[in-house]
Structure formats: C-alpha cells, structure tokens
Amino acid sequence: MINRDISWLSFNERVLQEAQDKTVPLIERMRFLGIYSNNLDEFFRVRVATSIRLIKALGGKDDDLVNATTQVLSEVQAKVLELQSSFYTTYQGIFDELKEHRIFIKNEKELNENEQIYVRSYFLREVESLITPIILSNIKKFPYLKDKSVYLYISAQKKNKKKLQALIELPTDYLSRFVVLPSDNGSRDIIYLDDVIRYNMPYILGIFEPQNIESYIIKLTRDAELDLDDDFSESYYERLNKSLSNRKKGKVVRLVYDKQMPQEHLDYILNNIKISTQNHLIPGGKYHNFRDFMGFPSLGKGDLCFNELEHVGHRDIEEGKSLLKQVVEEDKLLQFPYHSFDYVINLIREAAIDPKVTTIKISLYRVAAKSKIIKSLKNAARNGKQVYVVIELRARFDEEANLEWSKQLQEENIHIEFGLKGLKVHSKLLLIQRISKGESRNIAFISTGNFHEKSAQLYGDTALLTADSRISDEVDLVFQIFNKPYLPYRFNHLLVAPINLRISLYSLIEEQVVVAQNGGEGLIFIKVNNLVDEGIILKLQEAGSKGVKIRLLVRGVCSLVPTSDIEVRSIVGRYLEHSRIFWFGRAIEPTIYLGSADLMTRNLDVRIEALTPLYQNKIKQEVMDYLELQWSDNQNSRIIDGTLSNKMYTNNGEVCNSQIDLYNQLS
C-alpha cells in the first residue's frame, strides 16, 4: 500500500498542478498557490506533528516502528523540498504572466514618488496602530511565536553601533496581505503588506536611528493535536477549552524562512524556538504564508478569474410552494454548489413557522462564521419548536467556533448533545418531525457536506431530501443513539458507523464478487475524499482479482495501488470535490448510497457516520449519470498510479469538464 502521508503530498501536488495549468484563469492560479500552501500548513500541524509525537512516545519501545516513521518523515522532507522548488518556479511564472496583463507586484524599493507617498499614508492610517516591534535585546526571554502568523525578523545597527534585533508580526488578521497602489497609467500595481512595513522601517525604529537594516520573513508551524485528559471532575466543555489553550503552545514542527537570511540570524532563531526536529527547516523566498494568496484580489480583471456561475433553480422544486410538502410527495436530490444552499436554510425556516412541525434535529460538524443555519435554529426554538442539536466540539480547527455556537444555542434553551465519548460525530443529518392528519411524519436531509453556507459555495456535495419512512425513521434512530447509547441499535436501511457500515460495505463488495463468479458483470464505483482503510483496500483488491470491474474517484489520499482491474482517478477543479457516493452492481436495480463517510479507519470505526440508500429510480439515475460524467472528465482528472505520477487523464472523446458540464445539465 502507498503510505498515506506520501499520498497526501501527491494530492497537494495535484493542487499545485492547477496553479501550473495555463487553461486556468491567471488570478485563480495565484489562488491555487494559496490553497496548496494552506493545505501544507495543516499537513505539518497534524500529520507531521503526529509522527513526531509517535517517535517520542515509542522511544526505546518499538525500534521498528520508530525507524519506519523516521523514514517516512525523511521522505516527507524530501518531497516537500521538491514541491517547494516547483512552487517557487510556478509563482515566478505567474508573476511574469501578471506583468503581461499590466499587473505588477512591486517591492519597497521599486515605488515611484506617488506610490511612496501612498504607502507612507497607508501605513500611518491602517498599519501603525496594529504593530508593535518586539526589541529582542530589551527582553530576557525570547517571545512566543504564534502558529499561522508571519513575522519579520529585523537586524540593524543602532547609532552607537550596537546590534539591534526585533520581531514584527504581520497584522494579516486585520488587513489584506495585498495593498493595491494608486495608478494612472492603466496598470494595476500591488505591494505586499510585508513591504509596506519594510518601507516604513526607518520610521518604525526611528528612536534607535537605525542603519544597515535587514529584514527576513519567518513562519512557524506548531503541533495542532488536542490533548484531552480524563479528568472527570471537569466537563467535556471545560476540558476542550483547556486543550485549545494548550494547542496554541504546541511544539514547533516546521520553520519556513527566507533562504537569503545569514546563518547567524537563522542560528539565533533556532536556538530560541526549540524546534522539535531539524529535519523540517524549509528554506524559501522573500515572502511566506502563501495561504494568504487564497484572497488575492480580483483587481477588476474578470477575464483573469473564473466566470461567476449563478445558482441554478432545482427543476423539481416549485418556488413559492411548501418545500416540506414537496418532499413528502417526492424525494429531491440536491447538488451543491450548483443548487443554492438556501434550499436547506429555507427548509429550516419553513419548519420554524409551520404549526404542524413539532421537532427539529440536526448534527453540526462545521458551520459558517455568520451562520444562517444557527440563526434559523434559534428562531425555531423561539417559535416553540423542540430543537435538538448534536454539535461536534472536536471538529478540527473549528473547536473554538463550535464551543461558542453551543453556548449561544443553550442560551435559547435548545437541547445540546456533544456526541459520545470516543466517537466523533461526523454525520450530516437533519430531521424534521411534522404532524399531518394526526400522524407524525419524519422528513430527513442526508448530505455528504456540512451545514456551512460558505463552503457550500465552493465544495461539490450531494444531498438527499426525503420523507421515505424507511430512511427518515432510521435517521431519527441515529439521533436516539446520543440519548440512549446503551441500547442495541439495528439499521435495515442506513449504513451507520460504527454499527453496520464496515460489515455492510464488505457484504456489498462480496456480492459483486459472486455476480462476477457467476458470469455476470460485477461493478463497484466509489467516489470519496480518501481511501486509506486496509480492510476495505484488501476487499477491493480481492474483488478486482476475481473479475469485478472497479472504478474509484479519490480526490485526496489513496493508499490503494491500482491494478488492471482497479482504475483510480482524482478530480481537482474550480470546486472541491467532496461527495461520498457508493455504487454497486449493473443490474436493473443497482445499489447506491451517499453520505458522510470516507474510507478511512476513523470513519468506519470511531465516528458516527451515516450513508443513505437511494430508492427512487429517478434519483438513482441522476447519481449514476453524475458519476459517469465525472469518469468521462478529461480536463480536470488525473490518473492515480503506484508511482504517484499524477498524469492527466486524456482520451480521444469529446471535451468533458465534469463540473461545468454538470452545471450546464442542471441549468
């Protein structure tokens, strides 16, 4: 099998390839550099940090595992440095292409007189109040450097010839990294915030009358894993709060620095930050934290950005008519971001005022910073509905936000559950209970994506709206698990982790083996974000060897090595492919599921996940057509092979960009 960390770096290389693809609009290519950089930050914060922890924990106990993990870290370092070189080559190429479009990124030494006046004024107006240099020679203890922040390390000489060293944190939480300069010649000129500060450095340090000023960017990445001890005298809420505070002090697992920095300055920094391994020093260019490039300005250059695609109206949803009643009549399949997420928000809003609705239940993993979902749930509670929210406090990097949301919801007397000990709640479920003609009816929404309006604009997700009691009643059963986890639960329709998901997937794979062995055409077609679980991989390999045709669309990590019977591709495009869909069989009645689970051990065994079957033939056909369309993509699809070559998938067929073609089909 392919090591998951090496496979993940290969996925991020595919993101970098989007920045290199000249068919992608130029400014969007700059933004892909930001996505690549942001991904890599998280990789070091989580995966590399975990490996370093493992080595430390196993010291002297399991030399084989320590050696294997150390070897992987060495391979990671080599691959990261290789990609770093490719990254800067790509950046320079985009930089040169921007010039062709009269977009110039200037540094502090290239400003004309008018631009100098503007940069000085901008600094005084916007920047000065947000920065305070830390004069290192004035303090006894080296300051704590925050994760994700970017710092200017400054070296100079005072008037008395004594050395001056200082640090300035860039205020990117408050200001854009990119400052658009005034121009009267038709060009669009930009200067980095870094260089705005550099230009004003003689003024900033004016009290010292500095000479020979040097400045270099540095950035740290820290261990982001949470330590949740078993102190039962504290509530889970309190323990998570404490752990989040500790995360901010995590050990350094990477230092990115300007390779032009003299060795004496680098040594000084290394001696003070206590980096946990020398293997993760990443030399870079003058600018770091390219994650900020995700916010690179459009500059009024619409032709250099993706053309804006308006949401399409759902063909089977009639505007102005009760959506709840329409779902009772017929299941609805939603495809985001092509369909508007407002359908989901409006569903909850309608439920909030419908006198026949008694209860709303929802599981929240990630929500938007200004969440309309949260607002709708509060309003439902104010209208007398029983609102029941399962909120996952351990959603990585959203823990603090979820703590705050849970507090706000509790203030509205909304019933909150924090999931179950040892099981992270990752399912994406909404249930509305409605009384009609004296009978209670469950209406369910089961999705592959979160209840997050912002990501619903960028992520490709699929969801089912249904009042089919076979499905909706079992969604209600999932919510009952949180109240009464001690009871035995049996699901005849939903596949729910950790109860029946793994064993059901095994059975579905084995059924296709039987079909193939009996002379039929066994088929397995799976679309997920990640394929890592060894048990599933072995089952798929066995099925492939016995004649089952297997197609896999894996956006991210894939530890399975493809064979002649198992084809694997990955699509990276303008939208983040996020759907999880499982298709078994070519018979008249193929079996299809969609839901929240990836094929990783954590999803199958230590999370609450839910996959729903699709029962209506019309919706089944929609999903099969969607998967076939993605398989035909010859513009955004790359072949996953044992060498991690990331070659583009091409054929002699008609041009197919599955994301744009789906939009056109739904329009």
Nearest to 114 by CA among 184, 51, 23: 184
How many whole angstroms separate alpha carbon 418 and alpha carbon 255?
Answer: 36
Q: Which residue, among 476, 471, 383, has the nearest Cα to 433 in the 3D structure? A: 476
- What six digits make up the tokens of 15? 């993101």
Active site residue 426: yes
Q: Which of 265, 426, 452, 493 is catalytic?
A: 426
SS3 215: strand
Q: How many CB atoms lie within 10 A of CB 490?
A: 9
Give the single-character DSSP code of 590: -
- Tell me how far apart the alpha carbons of residues 306 and 583 are, in angstroms, rounded to a whole number: 32
Q: Which two tokens stand for residue 478?
A: 């999932």
Those residues with Cβ within 8 angstroms of residue 200's Cβ, 6 or more apart along the chain or in another chain: 119, 120, 123, 127, 128
The packing angle between helices 372-382 and 399-411, to 10°, is 20
Question: Taking the CB of residue 469, how many other CB atoms lie within 10 A of it?
Answer: 13
CA 329 to chain centre: 35
179 φ/ψ angles, rounded to the nearest 5 degrees:
-110, 120
Instruction: Identify whether 498 is preceded by a cis peptide bond (ω within 30 of 0).
Output: yes
* CA distances (Å), origin 610, targets 429, 448, 453, 471, 596: 8, 9, 21, 11, 6
* Token digits of residue 245: 């505070």
Three-state DSSP class for residue 300: coil
Q: Are 596 and 614 in contact (CB under 8 A)?
A: no
Tokens representing 610 are 């839910």
Give the Cα separation of 575 and 578 in Å (integer). Answer: 9
Peptide bond into 590 cis (omega under 30): no
Residue 415 forms beta bridges with which residues? Answer: 388
Chain centroid, CA 375 distance in Å: 24
Beta-carbon count within 10 A of 551 CB:
18
Distance CA 108, CA 110 (A): 6
Say what the alpha-carbon torsion angle 28, 33, 35, 41 is, to the nearest 10 degrees: -170
Q: Are strands 150-157 and 163-169 parallel, antiparallel or unpaired?
A: antiparallel
Q: Is 147 exposed, middle or buried (0-12, 13-18, 19+ CB in 10 A)?
A: buried
Query: Which secondary-structure segment (H or E) carries 120?
Result: helix 113-122
- When computed from its CA atoms, the radius of gyration of the chain, rounded to whole angstroms, is 27
Contact 153, 265 (CB under 8 A): yes
Strand blocks (E) in 373-438: 386-391, 415-417, 424-425, 429-436
Other C-beta atoms within 10 Å of 406: how many?
Answer: 20
Residue 251 DSSP label: P
How far apart (Å, rounded) are the C-alpha atoms in residues 600 and 1? 14
In the three-class reduction of DSSP (H, G, I as helix; E, B as strand; rest coil), residue 290 is classed as helix
Q: Active-site residues: which are they?
A: 426
